[in-house]
Structure 1
Amino acid sequence: MGDKARQAPRSFDSGLRHSNQAYLQGQLSDDAHPPICRRIAFVLLEHFSMMAFTGAVDAIVTANLVSHKPLYRFETYALEGATVRSDLGINISVDGALPALDANDLDILIICGGFRSKLEPGRPVLEKLREVARRRVILGSLWNGSYLLAHAGLLDGYSCTVHPDSRAGLEELRPQVRLLPNPFVIDRDRISSAGANSALGMMLAVIRHHHGEEMVRGIEEILSCDRTLDDLPDSPMPTLVDNPTFPDVLQNVLQLMKSNIEEPLSIDDLALHAKTSRRQIDRLFQRYMNTTPSRYYLETRLTRARRLLQQTNEPITTVAIACGFTSAPHFSRCYREFFGMSPSQVGRRRP
């Protein structure tokens, strides 16, 4: 038993992995094949949308958190000067001016506009954008940043989107650009977002292309503001893989698991309440969840335990009981096997 406790943590193979991805130790990276760290430059126009900018940055910063290793690094640039005023009236210090940008190892350049941003770039800006494009850098925009790319002729033959207030002007300026009414558009090496809320979605789509769906689901779990109440001690455990496309029987079993954390039901009892057979439950979990019902149930309870440990100061024994474990030693052993650390090593909320 002692040897088992020292084994490497098991990999999460069910739909709950994304909920715990940032907390799994030693499972998400391969030291022999370190991930590529992509460099992103944000060009901030005067009166740029702070919400659009932070939404995009939040996605890449959280990706680094989930991966435990840097996947992205970002820099900020102004068209000129050392600071840029946002739409909130807050001055932001930047890393440099766009003409001084070294694009040798640049992967993505994103122009962040805003409702009051001026969209008539001078010749040096246009020349710099064309220089960056020649290096096959992905070019992107937030809000109405597409306007500058279109001015430089870098969107001809591409689809893109822009804030509705800038649509008519862009259509008149460059009819060669295919404007779409979508929240965000990705067309080959051009990416664009029409507003503040869609900036996050655009960046998540880019991250999904680079690192897969599992990474994006882990980011979304951390950034889901409408789920914050789920972390409170007296909230029911959410089933993070709820999917209306699942068969009704599977949905019923998932709901039963979610509702019975402190006193877990046996698989036979789950089958009885769901009016199905144990064999059918096994088949459904293997097909849709890529795991067994007992394994998924255990992960559900451990996920709940991890949240309680992080969000409360309850004793480990109390958390163990609240999550259906018969003893603290048994709970600690299961927790270590899944997360690679003991419950006592989890950072706790300070009063």
Structure 2
Amino acid sequence: MTYIKDKRNFSALMRDTNSPFLPAAEQDENPVEVGFVLQQHFSMSAFTAAVDTLVTANLVRTTPLFNYQTYAAETSPVISDLGIEIAAQGTLKAFDHKPLPDLLIICGGYRCSTQQHPELTRTLKQADSKKLLIGGLWNGAIALAHAGLLDQLSCALHPDNHAYIREQFPKVRVSEQVIVSEGNRHTSAGPVSAMEMMLQLIGELRGMNITRAIREILSCDQISEKGNIRISQPGDNPCLPQNLRDIMELMAANIEEPISVDELTVCIGISRRQIERLFQNHLETSPGRYYLELRITHARRLLLQSNESITNIALASGFVSTSHFSNCYKDYFGVSPSLAREQAKTLAFNTPCPQAAVC
């Protein structure tokens, strides 16, 4: 297989997979500040789903895109629905002497109180006056309704609270959808929709490329309509032609000893030209380039996740020599394999603890 020197950028399909390890682009924007207001008995699963998307967004770029902090609606620590106490980093009174975050999310839960919390209402009205983004998880929309921020608007919340909010807030339109975004209001009904709501917000704030990269990491085990629970692979996309999916699967199964395009034509039963058109039309790349990127991605995983020698990794990834592998790796990732491994170890050693502490 011929290595083409000027191909240094991953094609679209493989770019998302490798985005956390690519050289940093220039970024002048400051991180988006996100504040999670934890109510007593908040849904831990909805909260962690939302936070996980932000943490993963930071992982897919070498500079942080988001900062997040937790705030207690009343006192800290806050008890979650699982009985686990979370030591919030502050209370709502903190906003008396510090700016509100760019995005304020109210974390509700099945057993959260539906009564109005005056301090929370005041904080939400303050955020609204500054045109900030405001969100609600599970039944966090109830707090927004108490503050009058959902009048004449639709919202999503857990079905258990639909009757209550229809009765108490006739100006609020309760949606049967699990996610609703209207203006700067964003609400969701449960843990899965909490992640989807955050992905939508991240796409709006940072672009869909970031969202696709996050999905690449977090959506590997989604169950298909047929109940398929196999780990998802690039060739599993049902929108791709079956011939192309078969070729991609063959390539993935033959990393250590790559097979030629001529061999692929025999296995699949179509011509070289048809194979080239399939890759160009559906993946906007060539078969050779896709195969190289698949192998360099395989090598990157072995390099950063094992202690195997660079020589063994090169051979296991189908490269004819260590120098060939090193040149390819540096062209795509901007650093040599040895330096990439060293940087990964340094990063792991210096990575701070998560911001939300569990008591």
Q: What's the TM-score bracket when you normalise by the shorter of the two chains?
A: 0.7 to 0.9
Deviation per residue, 1:140-169 (Å, 9 max, x gap):
101111111111211122221111211111
Amino acid at match of 2:258: P
Q: Do 2:220 and 2:232's aligned partners in 1 also have CA atoms closer than 8 Å? A: no
Q: Give the paired residue count.
A: 332
Say if 2:16 is the partner of 1:18: yes
Cross-structure match for 2:165: 170
Equivalent residue for 2:294, pick from 282, 300, 324? 300
Q: Equivalents in 2 of 1:84, 1:329: separation in Å?
A: 55
Range with greater deviation from structure 2 (140-149 or 209-218): 209-218
Cross-structure match for 1:230: none
TM-score w.r.t. the length of structure 1 is 0.86
Q: 1:160 to 1:98 in 2, by over 3 A?
A: same
Cα offset, 1:92, TM superposition: 2.0
Q: Equivalents in 1 of 2:214, 2:199: separation in Å?
A: 8
Equivalent residue for 1:52, pick from 35, 39, 46? 46
Equivalent residue for 1:312, pick from 306, 309, 315? 306
Q: Do 2:220 and 2:231's aligned partners in 1 also have CA atoms closer than 8 Å? A: no
Which secondary structure state, in structure 1, belongs to the residue aligned with residue 238 of structure 2?
Answer: coil
Q: Equivalents in 1 of 2:54, 2:221: separation in Å?
A: 20
Runs (5+) with no aligned partner, structure 1: 228-235
Cross-structure match for 1:111: 106
- The percent identity for this pair of structures is 45
Deviation per residue, 1:109-156 (Å, 9 max, x gap):
110011111121233432331121111111110111111111121112
Range with greater deviation from structure 2 (64-73 or 292-301): 64-73
Deviation per residue, 1:270-300 (Å, 9 max, x gap):
2232222222222222222121111110000
Say if 2:70 is the partner of 1:72: no
Say if 2:82 is the partner of 1:88: yes
Equivalent residue for 2:335, pick from 336, 341, 344? 341
Q: 1:12 to 1:51 in 2, by over 3 A?
A: same
Cross-structure match for 1:182: 177
Cross-structure match for 2:151: 156
Amino acid at match of 1:24: L
Cross-structure match for 2:265: 271
Q: Equivalents in 1 of 2:196, 2:252: separation in Å?
A: 29
Cα offset, 1:214, TM superposition: 2.2
Amino acid at match of 2:72: A
1:22-33 paired onto structure 2 within 5 Å: 22-26=20-24, 29-30=25-26, 33=27
Cross-structure match for 2:226: none
Cross-structure match for 1:232: none
Q: Do 2:124 and 2:144's aligned partners in 1 also have CA atoms closer than 8 Å? A: yes
Which secondary structure state, in structure 2, belongs to the residue aligned with residue 101 of structure 1?
Answer: helix
Cα offset, 1:310, TM superposition: 2.4
Cross-structure match for 1:290: 284
Q: Do 2:39 and 2:74's aligned partners in 1 also have CA atoms closer than 8 Å? A: no
Amino acid at match of 1:11: N
Runs (5+) with no aligned partner, structure 2: 223-229, 349-359
Which secondary structure state, in structure 1, belongs to the residue aligned with residue 53 of structure 2?
Answer: helix
Amino acid at match of 1:147: I
Q: 1:178 to 1:289 in 2, by over 3 A?
A: same
Deviation per residue, 1:231-272 (Å, 9 max, x gap):
xxxxx9974253211122222221221122111111222223
Cross-structure match for 2:189: 194
Cα offset, 1:83, TM superposition: 2.7
Amino acid at match of 2:61: S
Say if 2:258 is the partner of 1:260: no
Q: Equivalents in 2 of 1:244, 1:317: separation in Å?
A: 37
Q: Equivalents in 1 of 2:64, 2:252: separation in Å?
A: 34
After the TM superposition, which parts of structure 1 deviate over 6 Å for at least 4 consecutive aligned residues? none
Q: Do 1:237 and 1:304's aligned partners in 2 also have CA atoms closer than 8 Å? A: no
Amino acid at match of 1:213: M
Which secondary structure state, in structure 2, belongs to the residue aligned with residue 41 of structure 1?
Answer: strand
Q: Considering only aligned residues, what root-mean-square deviation do their CA atoms show, in Å?
A: 2.5
Q: Equivalents in 1 of 2:218, 2:15: separation in Å?
A: 16
Q: 1:249 to 1:277 in 2, by over 3 A?
A: same
Say if 2:48 is the partner of 1:41: no
Cα offset, 1:104, TM superposition: 4.5
Q: 1:274 to 1:237 in 2, by over 3 A?
A: farther
Cross-structure match for 1:233: none
Cross-structure match for 1:231: none
Cross-structure match for 1:215: 210
Q: Do 1:157 and 1:178's aligned partners in 2 also have CA atoms closer than 8 Å? A: yes
Which secondary structure state, in structure 2, belongs to the residue aligned with residue 34 of structure 1?
Answer: coil
Which secondary structure state, in structure 1, belongs to the residue aligned with residue 181 of structure 2?
Answer: strand
